[in-house]
């Protein structure tokens, strides 16, 4: 692998499903028979902003909630019915903050206990 770094914004857009690793011809041939792609956002800080590791815990949480807002806006713009937000295990600070954030915005949500999330994600319904 060469030493070129990947643009964090491009990587984030790829993680949000804006791009696919499949060739365009494969996407067209499977489009009619496949179900819609599951859209998810992993809010683990080391995944969304490793370059900002120096921030305080409070600032990191605010950054994660800002990313959640961008994700919600994108999902609504694309007329998504559902989306998943991975909040992880830990002490539950992020999960509780995300759930409170969603309640404040009247966004229907529920914890996902089935694989592959096992309670570490929240399903959003629009």
Domain 8-19+34-125 belongs to what topology?
A: Ribosomal Protein S8; Chain: A, domain 1 (3.30.1370)
Could you tell me if 52 and 86 are in contact, meaning their C-beta atoms sit under 8 angstroms apart? no
Kindly report the CA angle at 40 between 7 and 22, in degrees rounded to 5? 65
Looking at residue 23, its pLDDT comes to: 54
Convert the pLDDT of each residue in 7-33 to its tens digit: 777 666 666 665 555 555 554 544 545
Beta pairing partners, 118: none
pTM (2 decimals)?
A: 0.70
Kindly report the CA angle at 120 between 76 and 111, in degrees rounded to 5? 60
Convert the pLDDT of each residue in 59-80 to its tens digit: 999 999 999 999 999 999 999 9
Least confident among 25-39, 45-59, 94-108? 25-39
Could you tell me if 118 and 101 are in contact, meaning their C-beta atoms sit under 8 angstroms apart? no
Beta pairing partners, 82: 125
């Amino acid at each position: 692998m060469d030493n070129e770094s990947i643009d964090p914004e491009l990587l984030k857009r790829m993680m949000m499903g804006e791009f696919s690793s499949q060739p365009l011809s494969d996407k067209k041939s499977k489009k009619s028979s496949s179900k819609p792609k599951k859209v998810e956002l992993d809010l683990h800080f080391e995944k969304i902003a490793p370059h900002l590791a120096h921030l305080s815990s409070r600032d990191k949480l605010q950054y994660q909630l800002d990313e959640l807002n961008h994700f919600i806006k994108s999902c609504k713009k694309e007329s998504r019915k559902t989306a998943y937000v991975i909040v992880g295990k830990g002490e539950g600070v992020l999960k509780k903050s995300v759930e409170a954030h969603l309640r404040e915005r009247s966004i229907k949500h529920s914890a996902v206990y089935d694989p592959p999330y096992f309670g570490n994600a929240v399903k959003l319904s629009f």
